[in-house]
Chains A and B, each alone.
Chain A
Amino acid sequence: MSTETMSIFSPALATRFDALVLKYPVKRSALIPMLLYAQDEVGYVSDAVMAEIAERLSITALDVKNVASYYSMLRFKPAGKYNVQVCTNISCMLRGGYEIFDHLQEKLGIGHKGVTADGVFSLEEVECIGVCCWAPAIQVNYDFHDELTNDKVDQVLADYKAKAATEGAR
């Protein structure tokens, strides 16, 4: 698919994808990056996302779905504008990861995989995110926040809330 034909992606992302499929010895190697970058823009891996990626890679949408369902970062329904991912794995658990998770559930009024009514936040308990030596830690979208306390978490939430207020929820 070229950028001239209809694309559900922004012109910038469509152009990026045009280049990405030519980068590898085999076109299909672009699949996982494409799914993640598409999710970054669209908010989730929708049927339309999978259909267009399938067409771009000359594979079936079912094949795309089969692969997408394997990877834990890919989701099939929208999350909040800021997806708060709390690590509770061993190194974080030892330094209060579950307490941070509890605190976030209470502050946001949602549980695991919940989305706040205003769509600003979603919450997720996740496996190790590779910041064990700076535990406990969370990741908000792609940004890490480490060596947390409940007070620090409150500050992090307040900052994102303020950001959402100036930018709009979605």
Chain B
Amino acid sequence: MPRLVSHPDEVKIVTSRFGKGAADIDRFLELGGYESTRKALAEGPEWIINEMKASGLRGRGGAGFPTGLKWSFVPKVSAKPKYVLVNGDESEPGTCKDHLIFLHDPHAVIEGTIIAGLAIGAKTGFIYLRGEYRYLIQIVEKAVADAYAKGFLGKNIFGSDTEFQIIVQTGAGAYEVGEESALMESLEGKRGIPRIKPPFPAVVGLYGGPTVINNAETIASVPHILAMGGPAYAAVGSERNGGTRLFGISGHVNNPGIYELPMGYNLKKMIYEVAGGIRGGRTLKAVVPGGSSTPVLLPHEIETLGMDFDQVGKAGSMLGSGGVVVLDDTVCMVEFALRTISFYQHESCGWCIPCREGTDWLKKSLTRFHAGFGTMKDIDNIQYLAENMMGRTFCPLGDAAAMPTLGFVKKFRKEFEDHLDGKPCPHAKHLDVALV
């Protein structure tokens, strides 16, 4: 069972019910649950969207798109049914925050889904969890069944004349299915291949109907925002980045775990104080700030860096999924780059050639390099390949592979050069093991 951690700097909003038995619907109600949904039902769509806009909440799935704005793009009138889609595919390496939300507070996700439905005028919501999360799927399914039994879901929710249904769906193993249009394909019973955009999901989404898709953490934040009010939520975070975020700190720190901190919290402090510093008193070598697709940062780049979408973007990386991966000085960056790229090579769906071929060539080059058979030309080739994958695919998986690669090569070029001419990797241990 995943261990819960705590730190005094945390501001517990989304995590406020963690460890309190809130998966049980009666306990959830004791803790103030479903009050926001009742309020949303009474106040109506315009009020909901205004509160969401005022909250400054930006999507927690990775791209950081403002949630209220996304909801406002859905056409009011539509011939086809509209849908809400909750993205619980959570497969970006370094990311495990939604795991805890489903485990400890599944009703917050249900509430957020209903509220999103009320905001856009949808009658059906889907909660899609990655297939590996079977025990969490069972928890969410039970929570949904309990909500139906109480009349919070169904034809007349909370005794009103409004209908809302929720369907819980399992995946079966695929990172790419976390991409919004691929997720819709998967939900339609197909291979998870991305769709060309535009049209965007808000106009043509699931089954061709207007669809709002949000990350599970985004959705779980919604009832809290309505409870405390949009402006109050915004005030917790930094400029243009409302509220808190569930940061998942993993790797070489003393106290890894999921910590809920205000947006804009300093990264150095996060590593050294919140997560207890580097394991074994070693020195920090690098940080991957927001899941494996985000370019690596060096120790001097995190000194004053506030963890929000804009500041991390300005520093040349991305806040991404909030998965902070910490590397100490024992790590071989070539090996780390290879392991990162092996993942994207394995997960590329093969639909777009630059991604399919690019990830494969990157993996081949890095494998050769790591084994000590690289040439100076390979370093340039790796960079050339990555640069030419960027922006040339239907979905950003190609970018997700190219961006960190460029970061590794540019920031650790010297270490790549140290691998030249058959010199054994100074940290050599693994990674001739190829994933099939």
- Contact, CB under 8 Å: B94 / A131: no
Contact among A26, A90, A146 for B325, CB-based, below 8 A: A90
**Chain A residues positioned under 8 Å from B77 (CB to CB):** none
Within 8 A of A (CB), among B190-217: 190-192, 207
Within 8 A of B (CB), among A128-161: 128-135, 139, 142-144, 146-147
Nearest-neighbour CB distance to chain B for A37, whole angstroms, equals 8
Residue A32 interfacial (CB < 8 Å): yes
**Chain B residues positioned under 8 Å from A130 (CB to CB):** 90-91, 95-96, 98-99, 130, 132-133
Contact among A24, A33, A128, A146 for B343, CB-based, below 8 A: A128
A84 to B235, CA, bound (A): 46
Within 8 A of A (CB), among B410-435: 429-431, 433, 435
Nearest-neighbour CB distance to chain B for A100, whole angstroms, equals 11
Residue B218 interfacial (CB < 8 Å): no
A99 to B90, CA, bound (A): 25
- Contact, CB under 8 Å: A26 / B207: yes
Of B59-67, B168-176, B308-316, B358-366, the stretch lying at the interface with chain A is B168-176
A57 to B131, CA, bound (A): 21
Within 8 A of A (CB), among B99-151: 99, 124, 130-135
Within 8 A of B (CB), among A69-99: 70-74, 88-91, 93-95, 98
- Contact, CB under 8 Å: B429 / A98: yes
| In the complex, residue of chain A having the shortest beta-carbon distance to the beta carbon of B326 | A94
The 0/1 profile, CB within 8 Å of B marked 1, for residues 8-52 of chain A is 000000000000000111101111110110000000000000000
- Contact, CB under 8 Å: B191 / A67: yes
**Chain A residues positioned under 8 Å from B323 (CB to CB):** 91, 132
A143 to B93, CA, bound (A): 19
Of B25-33, B40-48, B181-189, B265-273, the stretch lying at the interface with chain A is B181-189
Of B245-253, B297-305, B393-401, the stretch lying at the interface with chain A is B245-253
**Chain A residues positioned under 8 Å from B436 (CB to CB):** 112-113
Residue A55 interfacial (CB < 8 Å): no
- Contact, CB under 8 Å: A135 / B81: no
- Contact, CB under 8 Å: B191 / A94: no
Nearest-neighbour CB distance to chain A for B206, whole angstroms, equals 9
- Contact, CB under 8 Å: B251 / A74: no
A143 to B433, CA, bound (A): 25
- Contact, CB under 8 Å: A135 / B250: yes
Known contacts A98-B429, A128-B92, A135-B250; A35 and B172 CB within 8 A of each other: yes
A110 to B187, CA, bound (A): 36
Residue B340 interfacial (CB < 8 Å): yes
A89 to B251, CA, bound (A): 11
Known contacts A93-B339, A112-B436, A127-B347; A29 and B91 CB within 8 A of each other: no
**Chain B residues positioned under 8 Å from A131 (CB to CB):** 2, 96, 99
Nearest-neighbour CB distance to chain A for B320, whole angstroms, equals 13
- Contact, CB under 8 Å: B172 / A74: yes
- Contact, CB under 8 Å: A72 / B94: no
A88 to B86, CA, bound (A): 27
**Chain A residues positioned under 8 Å from B288 (CB to CB):** 90
Nearest-neighbour CB distance to chain A for B210, whole angstroms, equals 14
- Contact, CB under 8 Å: B189 / A132: no
- Contact, CB under 8 Å: B250 / A94: yes
- Contact, CB under 8 Å: B430 / A26: no
**Chain A residues positioned under 8 Å from B132 (CB to CB):** 73, 129-130, 139, 142
Residue B331 interfacial (CB < 8 Å): yes
A31 to B192, CA, bound (A): 13
Known contacts A57-B189, A74-B173; A90 and B93 CB within 8 A of each other: yes
Residue A5 interfacial (CB < 8 Å): no
Known contacts A32-B189, A90-B339, A125-B433; A133 and B257 CB within 8 A of each other: yes
The 0/1 profile, CB within 8 Å of A marked 1, for residues 232-267 of chain B is 000000000000000011111000111000000000
Residue B402 interfacial (CB < 8 Å): no
- Contact, CB under 8 Å: A70 / B257: no
Residue B334 interfacial (CB < 8 Å): no
Known contacts A25-B124, A67-B190, A125-B435; A132 and B172 CB within 8 A of each other: no
A36 to B189, CA, bound (A): 12
A134 to B253, CA, bound (A): 12
Contact among A25, A72, A90, A125 for B173, CB-based, below 8 A: A72
- Contact, CB under 8 Å: A71 / B135: no
Residue A166 interfacial (CB < 8 Å): no
| In the complex, residue of chain B having the shortest beta-carbon distance to the beta carbon of A70 | B191
Contact among B1, B133, B174 for A71, CB-based, below 8 A: B174
The 0/1 profile, CB within 8 Å of A marked 1, for residues 147-171 of chain B is 0000000000000000000010111
| In the complex, residue of chain A having the shortest beta-carbon distance to the beta carbon of B247 | A133
- Give the residue among B93, B130, B188, B331 with the most A Cβ atoms within 10 A: B93
A71 to B349, CA, bound (A): 10
Residue B327 interfacial (CB < 8 Å): yes
Known contacts A73-B172, A98-B429, A132-B95; A91 and B250 CB within 8 A of each other: yes
User: What are 11 of the A-B contact pairs (CB < 8 Å)?
Assistant: A25-B81, A32-B171, A33-B170, A93-B336, A112-B436, A127-B346, A127-B435, A128-B93, A132-B94, A132-B248, A133-B256
For the A-B complex with A88-B433, A128-B93 known, give 17 more contacts whose Cβ atoms are closer than 8 Å: A70-B349, A72-B172, A72-B173, A90-B343, A93-B430, A112-B433, A113-B436, A127-B91, A128-B94, A128-B95, A128-B292, A130-B98, A130-B133, A132-B96, A133-B250, A134-B2, A142-B135
Residues on B close to A: CB < 8 A? 1-3, 81, 90-96, 98-99, 124, 130-135, 167, 169-175, 186-192, 207, 248-252, 256-258, 288, 292, 323, 325, 327, 331, 336, 339-340, 343, 346-347, 349, 429-431, 433, 435-436
